[in-house]
Amino acid sequence: MNRLVIDARESGTSTGRYIDNLIKYLSKLNPEFEIVLLAKPHRAEHYKKIAPNFNVIKTSYQEFTFSEQLGLWRQLRKIKPDLVHFGMPQQPILYRGKSVTTIHDLTTARFKNPSKNAVLFTIKQLIYKWVVKIVANKSATIITPSKFVKKDIANFTRMPQGKITVIHEAADRIQDAAEPFKILQGQPFIMYVGRPQPHKNLQRLVLAFSELKNKHPELKLVLVGKNDTLFEQLEVFVQKQKIADVVFSGFVSEGTLRWLYEHTAVYVFPSLSEGFGLPGLEAMAQGTPVASSNATCLPEVYGDAAHYFNPLDVHDMASKINEVLTSEKLRKELIAKGQEQVKKYSWQKMAEQTLEIYRKVLNSKSSN
């Protein structure tokens, strides 16, 4: 029996939703392999519950570290897998066994992080670019979530597109009971959910919201996400601009997130760069009208189910959000189209397609 290792170190993070859903639905398929999950200690019990037919091995090697390069490499050699699926480019470059790698996007290679030391981050970014090119060369197959990323990686690494497979992600409705966010009850608001990295373009969203306040003085902007240094920097920006009614919710439960989706006037996704754009699709799954950036893969993934704006143009952003706010006909159309768009994607289908990749690579004669 072939032994397959899945690197699940990203589990429990926003980007880890991909690997969590892959494992959840792959477990239901009862694949004909022995599957070993490499998980960080705090996620081991989670995997034992959702994938009881898989073997869970704990690993403490952090991404982007020297210990990852040597320690994880040694751990893999001890396990002796026939195939490893790395859920991200960060992996031991010395590992030369058969492997499949998922690359969600090249955002890390293109955008700075102002919360990090500039010199150290630049060095890490250069290393990351180098690692991506090595990984692309040594992996038997690269999996990407969109056609846009497929072309982007092919151009960046100069590898043939035939070696890259597009497997879409998906979005599910939140099943937890809705829990009101008390200070917003009875209040009109628009919202964003996600991380505050620079490419998410939240400063321009805040400025667009400031414009909207001229027409909608009671409107609030809700920014949902765990408090961190970047959110703190954004809060300082809001204060300096003297913009009122921007609500930083911090981390919220699934039930509260459901309530926010169900009561927001518009979900706004102003991102400059995405690999798939899962947050907007998740909003559509909850029956929320979406106003979105027209950048990178987003029109490909959302189709005609979003109202698009130029993310570099604050005035255009404000104008398009206002159109959704003021047109009941447009709102109803976006909600209906969003519900249909979500049906095009399935986590189960994603798991089935990934399983076929495993079979194909395992049946091949070499890893390159």
In a shared domain, residues 158 and 249: no
* Residues 248-282 pLDDT 10s: 999 999 999 999 999 999 999 999 999 999 999 99
- Tell me whether residue 221 is in a domain: yes
Alpha helix stretches (DSSP H) within 29-117:
44-50, 66-67, 73-79, 107-110
Asked if 307 and 290 touch (Cβ cutoff 8 Å), the reply is yes
* Percent of residues, the chain, with pLDDT higher than 70: 99
- The pLDDT of residue 368 is 46
Q: What is the pTM of this model?
A: 0.93
In a shared domain, residues 151 and 272: no
In a shared domain, residues 188 and 308: yes
Contact partners, residue 242, CB within 8 Å, separation at least 6: none
In a shared domain, residues 99 and 62: yes
In a shared domain, residues 356 and 334: no
- The pLDDT of residue 121 is 85
- Tell me whether residue 176 is in a domain: no
In a shared domain, residues 350 and 325: no
- Least Cα distance to 275 among 243, 259, 298, 249 occurs for 298
Please name the residue that has the structure tokens 């690579």. Answer: 361
In a shared domain, residues 88 and 114: yes
- Tell me whether residue 175 is in a domain: no
- Tell me whether residue 177 is in a domain: no
Domain hosting 220: range is 182-342
Q: Mean pLDDT score of the chain, rounded to an integer?
A: 95
DSSP conformation class of 178: P
Could you tell me the CATH number of the domain that includes residue 107? 3.40.50.2000
* Residues 317-362 pLDDT 10s: 999 999 999 999 999 999 999 999 999 999 999 999 999 999 999 9
Indicate the pLDDT class of residue 367, thresholds 50, 70 and 90: very low
* Residues 84-127 pLDDT 10s: 999 999 999 999 999 999 999 999 888 888 878 888 888 888 98
- The pLDDT of residue 48 is 95
Please name the residue that has the structure tokens 């999950």. Answer: 37
Average pLDDT over every residue of 206-212: 98
In a shared domain, residues 121 and 158: yes
* Residues 172-183 pLDDT 10s: 999 999 999 999
Q: Quick check: 47 pLDDT over 80?
A: yes
Average pLDDT over every residue of 154-178: 95
- Least Cα distance to 183 among 216, 209, 222 occurs for 222
In a shared domain, residues 156 and 195: no
In a shared domain, residues 214 and 324: yes
- The pLDDT of residue 263 is 97
Scored b (16 or more CB within 10 A) or e, 91-125 reads bbbebebbbbbbbbbbbbbeeebeeeeeeebeebb
- The pLDDT of residue 266 is 98
- Least Cα distance to 87 among 269, 226, 275 occurs for 275
In a shared domain, residues 301 and 315: yes
- Tell me whether residue 293 is in a domain: yes
- Least Cα distance to 321 among 204, 180, 195 occurs for 204
Q: Is 211 exposed, middle or buried (0-12, 13-18, 19+ CB in 10 A)?
A: middle
- Tell me whether residue 353 is in a domain: yes
- The pLDDT of residue 117 is 83
In a shared domain, residues 125 and 104: yes
Contact partners, residue 323, CB within 8 Å, separation at least 6: 307, 330
User: Which range (106-115, 159-168, 306-315) has the least confidence?
Assistant: 106-115
Asked if 110 and 24 touch (Cβ cutoff 8 Å), the reply is no
- The pLDDT of residue 366 is 53
Asked if 279 and 257 touch (Cβ cutoff 8 Å), the reply is no
- Tell me whether residue 368 is in a domain: no
As a whole number of Å, the end-to-end CA separation of the chain is 22
* Percent of residues, the chain, with pLDDT higher than 90: 89
Count of domains observed in the chain: 2
- The pLDDT of residue 304 is 98
Asked if 39 and 59 touch (Cβ cutoff 8 Å), the reply is yes
- Least Cα distance to 291 among 273, 316, 256 occurs for 316
Average pLDDT over every residue of 292-311: 98
User: Which range (25-29, 64-68, 237-241) has the least confidence?
Assistant: 64-68
- Least Cα distance to 81 among 360, 358, 308 occurs for 358
Long-range pairs for 73-76 at CB < 8 Å and ≥24 separation?
75/38, 76/5
